Chain A
Amino acid sequence: MTGVLITGAGFWSPLVWLAAFLIVLAIVLLIRSTGRKKFRHGTDQTAAFFSGNEAPKTHVKAGNIYWGFFVTTGRYYRWLRRMHTGIVNDYVYSFVLIMVILLAAVTMGGLL
């Protein structure tokens, strides 16, 4: 049958997924259509509710997104940034390092 991808441990059928998505979308639109149709745009009736406070008008900049994640993983990121120096000598050095490690693994791996 077309549209069914057999992976080793199961199957994935995107057509069935799409059909389910469309059915759920239809139900959502049906429920939405039973709401009120008469309301005024632009007044408090369509504004988001912020517990009575003013809605914030700023746009969070990219440097500030996920600050909690970066604070928690601060140690890992300090190590990672130190590793990415940007100096071309370090690029060649890491290549030589990997070559040496792979050589050791391949020549002495048979002894394990």
Chain B
Amino acid sequence: MIDLPFIAVIVLIMLGISAAVLKRNMIKIVMGVSISASGINLLLVALGYREGGVAPIFTNAPAAQMVLPTPQALTLTSIVIDLAVTAMMLSFVILMYKHYGSTDSRKRRLSG
């Protein structure tokens, strides 16, 4: 089915955001953001796909239609950004665990 990647994208994004809304453990919140980002990366790669296409490399290319290369560049950038963001959020969770003693998002001290 041609729509399966896009349905998977919607499911992944919704799963990720619902993890960020519903889960109490901060590491699971970080995982939720990462799953959302993977869903959007899947969307970008799936948008560039052409049926029966080959990889967009000019050297020794077979004579067929190529898939679009731009979304692959966008996805690479997005993967790198997501890596940096996840690493940062996890380091903040480590610092919070050191000071607060728990990874529960309800044990916050800044409110009101």
Contact = CB atoms under 8 A, between A and B. Distances in A.
Interface of A: 81, 84-89, 92-93, 96
Contacts of B23: 89
Given A89-B24, A92-B21, A96-B21, A84 B29 contact: no
Given A86-B112, A88-B26, A96-B17, 17 more contacts: A81-B112, A84-B112, A85-B111, A86-B110, A87-B106, A87-B108, A87-B111, A88-B20, A88-B105, A88-B108, A89-B20, A89-B21, A89-B24, A89-B105, A92-B21, A93-B21, A96-B21
Contacts of A87: 105-106, 108, 111
B contact residues, range? 10 to 19
A35 B111 CA distance: 54
Interface of B: 17, 20-24, 26, 29, 105-106, 108-112
Contact of B111 (A84, A92, A93): A84
A86 B17 contact: no
Chain B CB count within 10 A is highest, among A84, A92, A93, for A92
A89 B108 contact: no
B21 A86 contact: no
B11 to A, nearest CB: 16
A85 to B, nearest CB: 6
